[in-house]
Structure 1
Amino acid sequence: MLRIAAFLFLFCITILEAQPLNVPVHAKSAILYNPENGAILFEKKAKEPHYPASILKIATALFVLDHKKVDLEKKYTASKTALEMLHADVKQADPMGFASYILEHDGVTMGLEVGKSYELNMLLHGLLLASGNDAANVIAENSSKSIDKFMDELNTYLREKGIEQTRFHNPHGLHHPAQMTTAYDMARIAGLAFAEPLFCQIAGKKVFDSGVGKVIQNTNPLVKDGKYQYSKILGGKTGYIASAGYNLVAAAEDHGRRLVVVLLGCETSEDRFKDAITLFESAFREKKKSRVLFSKDPECFSREVPRASGPLKAGLNQDVAIAYFPSEELELEAKLIWHKLYLPIRTGKLVGKLVVSDERGNTLVTAPLFAANDLEKDSSYAWIWWVVALAALSMGIYLTKKGAKFRKR
């Protein structure tokens, strides 16, 4: 039997019918993003630099949960350095003259005390639910021995994840003139964060009781009871400083479809929640479309087979179609993977498979490929085997005779 090596053929498909959502938003920069497949459903100046404010805390929590992987019950001690505080006017008048992580008197804190120890679990809840700037500093200092080292490690981590337009100088988001991100980068950071079960568990809570006399309330109107509570919300983070305006990062899910919204530079606090709900609902109201990528055809594909009597023709026994949402423009990759084959090949034999995946490598469709014709060994190659066989026989006779003469001696 003649063995043939596996063969792979690769080509790309683009779904051109994508229709980005047409939604007016108040935010200066905005994006609606599907973290599973990387699709951008809506964007408005999504790659323009912007001050993050407290939405930066998502990156701090992500880094600790994903990279540091510290035991949540571990005790972190609040140092004088981590809790140092200045009047906001003094610090902002000379932003390069003071450490960026120094707290400001009008910033949000949990009320941590110098010398006391706190479980990481409580600090993370304080970071994400109450937006405690002191919690951010204590987490950073204890995780990496110093806050500056933590920031170096965090920025390296983000670059390794492909987050290229973001540079953070402190773990909480208080103003620093060089501390910048984009709506697109924050969407990717949030996508990674909401892929962490512990992050989702924390960010989606309305309230957390530490068990040691400290109850932490979630300040996010999309999560807590009230006018803007959103039933499909998974969680998120608000942010505000004067230089940034009102920012928001949030994730929501409907029927297994998870989306992330980022809104930067809103003029009022309410605008960001209105924009978020409008964008989420516009996407979740979409109905899936279906498109046939490859039609059922007994001779859809062809390949040359070494030493065969002709080309192998193969096809699908069913149409290969994909369902997608109109606003999600998908870059698809199709791989035609041939099995290891042996001649002869008969019609109907399974000879390979067609695999369609998105640009992130997630397999969307796999379809079997069947032979559409019989394929024999090419008889024109037969004389080669006869020559080889005769040569081998002649060599065998020669060696036998030579061996006999040697024994006679």
Structure 2
Amino acid sequence: MRWIAAAALVFHLLAAVISTPAPAAPTPRPPIIGATSAVLMDARSGRVLHAKSPDVPRPPASTTKILTALLAMEALTDETLVPIHERASEERSGSAIGLEAGERWKARDLLYALLMHSANDAAIALAEAVAGSLDQFAVQMNARAKTLGARRSHFNSPHGRYHPRHLATAYDLAVIARAALRIPRFAEIVRTQTWSLARPGQQSMMLINTNSLLWRYRGADGVKTGWIAQSGPCLIASATRDGWQLIAVVLNAPRMYRDAAALLDYGFAAFSPVRAAAAGEILYDGPLPGGARFLVAVAEDEVVVPVRRGASIATRITLLSTGAPVRSGQIVGTAVFSSGAPSRRQAPVGGLHLACANVGATCRSRRFRLLRSSSGRTRGRRRGR
């Protein structure tokens, strides 16, 4: 029987709730920290595990350089020769490596100087190479930030020196850091402790990463420090244990390393990564509304999300019927993985491939487009039937 929907028909199938094994010890409580704003984020799913004033814009200082590096890596190769102009050579405030007008530097070396030494002159040189001017680079920074989901921040410069309109939120900085850490070149630089910087026509310069958490915290592998008088101490930190990476952002944190370590400790102790769906796992097979046709909903990718230890997890399938025949590439459903652990943030966590068959007749299977769903809850796994 053919079915036709004049309007979108949505129905929900709630899966049984399945508990994860509870730990013997009580779940740790969130730490008390001195930072004005803070976020703890799961690097894989983007889920926020803990937050303190995450949406309040503040001067981000040199944590800005994460976005600068991301844009530079998207536009330049490691071997791209970057010409040094007067504006970069005249930059001597804060950290700098002493670039001289007329020099040509490999983008790779400028990126190491930018992210490890927090060099303002390297930030300017890279910005001019990418966009032609600092003003145009700021336009690109804001556009790229918005595409990443960082919508409450505004950037005026590639280095983060104080400007009353150069502001970012802890949540937005976590989102930007998460995107940057997906770039292998970026991840390699920010976990490097020391680097010998080759200087054109001069002796090499030894760079020491400004992020001392790399020496002090087990599993630390990034990302960037920042400080100006108007911002106070700022740190975006990351750490990986047993293949699971967390990101901690602390802004205006007098004891930034202690605060970041406390957040990371809490995340690793209170949560654990759970496979919500295996690649190819059938999440739903059942009838379409109004007829004998059936859908089989299959997860396209493996989905791993953080779940509070001892929390129950569940899957909700939503199918959208739009009329038969269903066309290849048509969006037909979503999967939302949730648990009892509260979260106030939305993050894409998974999706479905759907196939359509006619029961009792020749099977006509089709594969359809992945649709990534978003929810502010912890996502878990099981079938929605």
TM-score normalised per structure 2: 0.70
Are positions 1:236 and 2:218 aligned together? Answer: no
Question: Displacement of 1:364 after TM fit?
Answer: 7.2
1:155-213 deviation line (CA, Å, top 9, x unaligned): 11212222211111110011111110000100100110111111001111011123452
TM-score normalised per structure 1: 0.66
Are positions 1:218 and 2:209 aligned together? Answer: yes
The answer to whether the Cα contact below 8 Å between 2:315 and 2:383 also exists between their aligned partners in 1 is no
Structure 1 residue aligned with 2:186: 199
1:93-129 deviation line (CA, Å, top 9, x unaligned): xxxxxxxxxx53xx11112122212111010000000
Ranges in structure 1 where 5+ consecutive residues have no aligned partner: 86-102, 294-299, 315-321, 370-409
One-letter amino acid matched to 2:257: F
Structure 1 residue aligned with 2:50: 42
The answer to whether the Cα contact below 8 Å between 1:163 and 1:188 also exists between their aligned partners in 2 is yes
The answer to whether the Cα contact below 8 Å between 1:58 and 1:193 also exists between their aligned partners in 2 is yes
One-letter amino acid matched to 1:177: P
The answer to whether the Cα contact below 8 Å between 1:261 and 1:276 also exists between their aligned partners in 2 is yes
Structure 1 residue aligned with 2:129: 142
In structure 2, C-alpha distance between the alignment counterparts of 1:359 and 1:12, rounded to whole Å: 17
**Greater C-alpha radius of gyration:** 1
Structure 2 residue aligned with 1:178: 165
SS at structure 2 position matched to 1:25? coil
Distance 1:84 1:111, change over 3 A: closer
Structure 1 residue aligned with 2:175: 188
In structure 2, C-alpha distance between the alignment counterparts of 1:39 and 1:285, rounded to whole Å: 16
Distance 1:133 1:258, change over 3 A: same
In structure 2, C-alpha distance between the alignment counterparts of 1:108 and 1:231, rounded to whole Å: 28
Structure 1 residue aligned with 2:36: 28
Q: Which has the higher helix share?
A: 1
Structure 2 residue aligned with 1:76: 82
In structure 2, C-alpha distance between the alignment counterparts of 1:147 and 1:242, rounded to whole Å: 23
1:29-52 deviation line (CA, Å, top 9, x unaligned): 001011322211110001011000
Are positions 1:132 and 2:119 aligned together? Answer: yes
Q: Map 1:1-400; keep pairs closer than 5 Å.
A: 11=12, 21-66=29-74, 68=75, 70-85=76-91, 104=93, 107-212=94-199, 213-223=204-214, 225=215, 229-267=216-254, 271-286=255-270, 288=272, 306=291, 324-326=306-308, 333-335=316-318, 337=354, 339-343=356-360, 359=374
Ranges in structure 2 where 5+ consecutive residues have no aligned partner: 21-26, 278-284, 297-303, 320-353
1:326-361 deviation line (CA, Å, top 9, x unaligned): 18999965256563123269xxxx9x9xx997628x
1:55-97 deviation line (CA, Å, top 9, x unaligned): 000010011113x1x1211111221122334xxxxxxxxxxxx
In structure 2, C-alpha distance between the alignment counterparts of 1:125 and 1:289, rounded to whole Å: 32
Distance 1:237 1:175, change over 3 A: same
In structure 1, C-alpha distance between the alignment counterparts of 2:146 and 2:276, rounded to whole Å: 38
Count residues in correspondence: 320
Q: After TM superposition, which residue ranges in structure 1, 4 or more long, deviate above 6 angstroms?
A: 2-5, 12-15, 17-20, 289-293, 311-314, 327-331
Percent identity among equivalent residues?
27
In structure 1, C-alpha distance between the alignment counterparts of 2:276 and 2:70, rounded to whole Å: 39
The answer to whether the Cα contact below 8 Å between 1:356 and 1:366 also exists between their aligned partners in 2 is no
In structure 1, C-alpha distance between the alignment counterparts of 2:294 and 2:157, rounded to whole Å: 62
